[in-house]
Structure 1
Amino acid sequence: MGQDKMTVGLVYGGKSGEHEVSLQTALAVMNAFDYEKYEIIPFFITKKGEWRVGGRLSAPLASVERLKLEQEAGDTSAAVELLFKGLGGGGRELDVIFPLLHGTNGEDGTIQGLFEMANLPYVGAGVLASAAGMDKAVMKKLFADAGLAQCKFCYFTAASWANNSHDHIQHVESELGYPCFVKPANLGSSVGISKASSREELIRAVEHALRYDLKVVVEEFVDAREIEVGILGNDEPLPSVPGEIVSSSEYYDYSAKYLDGKSQMIIPAQLDTEVAERVRELGVKAFKSIEGSGLCRADFFLRRDTGELLINEVNTMPGFTPFSMYPLLWRETGMSYTALLDRLIELAVQRFEARQNLDFENGVQ
């Protein structure tokens, strides 16, 4: 290893419905890294949750298939040994971890906890922000506490639905009305979301969402434009220019997001200067409300009738190919994809070093 090169562990794949998206992201990131500055060690997590670790790379792997590390890769025990090397006082082989995992077990705080236990710097949100950013019900409570305006919503668990479905239906009908949107509380990429326009559709939508999670969020329908802003930083986060999603379907579902290619991203969004500035300001506020670090994308509704801005959600590990909204927002703001990678690694190391100075001895000498 060159003296001045950083060793970056790139973690991708995973036990998630977004496994394939993660592979595409990893390929893009791997191709954008400056190999004069970094060496990469790839960590691939299979759909079954098995870990494979490859050797050091001084050039990107050629294809998604190669990313799966079928040959000449260490197994789970080798991956864990490499992650935890250095805890006993030996030399650490990894300078920073870059998780490119979406959805369950990737951006929900679980793998972030593993990196904390391994005492490794890692890109992105910590355990708390990751978990809060993944659970739509908890996220909405934090937004409310921060005074951020949002659409009306309710949530309930599978057990509560089984015991009190009639009460929940009545609450949705009296407080939210039809149409409404039904979502699994903990899932990324718009999987499991349905629009319900009647009681029968609501029941079907809840049953569908409960296939993916044990908690369901129901939201009122809002006729609005979808505006997004990228946030970058730790204690003093900066917002990008805002962008707009014009969906190919009635709402921005998984198909509209990844499959049909017809949804448009308009960057920068065509907004009045004051509205654009408000989006940027509220995006930073949303990021701080979940105690974010590194990066997030904050998504808003801009009501067509009143012009009110409503926070929809934050995404602590947004899509990260060069054609994804988050990197494109920063490109338009003046930061290239490669420079964005550099900055995220800097922020990861800064956050780690700040936490190393904390006293965990409880005052005992």
Structure 2
Amino acid sequence: MEIIVLYGGKSAEHDISVLTAASIIQHIQYGTHNVTPVYIDINGHWFAGPNMSEKPAADINLRFNQAENGQAVVPTDILSEDKDQVVFPALHGPNGEDGTIQGLFESLNVAYVGAGVLASAAGMDKIVSKHLFNQVGLPQVPFATLNAYEWEKDADAAVAKVTESLSYPVFVKPANMGSSVGISQATDDAELKAALALAFRFDRRVLVEASVENPREVELAVLGNEEVFVSVPGELGKGQGFYDYDEKYINNSTEMIIPAKIDDETVAKLQAYAKEAYLVLDGSGLSRADFFLTQEGDIYINEVNTLPGFTQFSMYPSLWEASGKGFDDLIEELIQLALNRYNKKQSIQKAFEL
């Protein structure tokens, strides 16, 4: 079976996506699959690399172009329901994990790894997911929302809207962005205004959240379609107060503590909340659920990532490793989950046609 690994993309998380793809390609089972890497450059152009029937060198250059062993293609050149293939999207951020590329896969009727259109869009949008989590009673920190119209019309009034309901310090986040891109902390009106200006560079809607004092940041990996499994929890042992983009991918000063040292009762709550969040989003394939845990034992769900990273620094595969599922087996299970979901969808369509 051909596995199309799709990565890069028109996103601020372009470079992270390339790292994720490199890791996935190293852990596919080449005894039963071959791999075609497809790189989307920052301008949105697609380039297919050579098909690989065995594991490539770890330092393979995956940034293909026409001048360097790449073939310019359009999606219908390589994606087809008539081929024995599964698409493994390794795309992060807008146009990758927000439902847009998943809509393309659905239109072309091809099997693909991960969440569908609805779950991808809702999970990527921090504001929408907050409202969905509220519907099923998941505990969250207080939050406020702003849109670009409010900000551009009167920045001072936008700041006042936030401070009327939240106290400093607060965190400011673009509604649709990951890997801590565009996120910053504010401790007064001046910092809040600067943080909002930054966040609105990445999205037209912004989320502002109350801060939790010295929380433990705990993450759990989720896997499955109808039957859902949750990993042991992991904790971020941060080298600084805010786990930002540089700390994640450049400085690498953040330690992953797996499994996290948490009592059994709290672990059970975290796993139940992670599963509930997955189900309310209509998740499939995989996700990573992120929580804050206070010293008093209070739990707050932060967000769900429907396409978590698979880099050497990533929590998701490490959590499953600690839960007894190796990287190669994890990749293969995700491929099989994609096929199972696709086959069930085909059965439903055939029944409808009858």
Residue of structure 1 in register with 2:62 after alignment:
67
2:77 aligns to what?
A: 81
Q: CA deviation at 1:65?
A: 5.6
Q: Give secondary structure in 1 for the equivalent of 2:7.
A: strand
- The equivalent of 1:89 in structure 2 is none
Query: 1:338 and 1:244 mapped to 2: Cα distance?
Result: 23
**Which blocks of at least 5 consecutive residues in structure 2 are unaligned?**
none
Tell me, in whole angstroms, the C-alpha distance in 2 between the residues paired with 1:126 and 1:283.
18
The 5 Å alignment of 1:50-199 reads 50-62=45-57, 66-70=61-65, 71-77=68-74, 79-83=75-79, 85-86=80-81, 92-199=82-189
Q: Which runs of 5+ in 1 are unaligned?
A: 1-5, 87-91
Equivalence map 1:1-365=2 (5 Å) = 6-62=1-57, 66-70=61-65, 71-77=68-74, 79-83=75-79, 85-86=80-81, 92-223=82-213, 224-304=215-295, 306-359=296-349
Q: Quote how far apart the aligned CAs of 1:93 are.
A: 2.7
Cα distance change, pair 362–160 in 1 and its aligned pair in 2 (3 A): farther
Q: In structure 1, give the amino acid aligned to 2:10.
A: K
Alpha-carbon separation, structure 2, partners of 1:346 and 1:360: 21
Give the total of aligned pairs.
351
Instruction: For residue 349 of structure 1, give the secondary structure of its aligned residue in structure 2.
Output: helix
Q: Using the aligned pairs only, state the percent identity.
A: 44
Partners of 1:61 and 1:67 within 8 A in 2:
no
- Tell me if the contact between 2:249 and 2:313 (Cα under 8 Å) persists in the aligned partners: no
Cα-to-partner distance string for 1:127-160 (whole Å, 9 max, x where unaligned): 1111111111001011101110100001111012
Secondary structure of 1:350's counterpart equals helix
CA contact (8 A) 1:8 1:96 kept: yes
CA distance in 2, matches of 1:10, 1:64: 17
CA distance in 1, matches of 2:346, 2:332: 21
Measure how far apart 1:80 and its partner are.
2.6
Q: Structure 2-normalised TM-score?
A: 0.95
Which of 248-257 and 295-304 deviates more?
A: 248-257
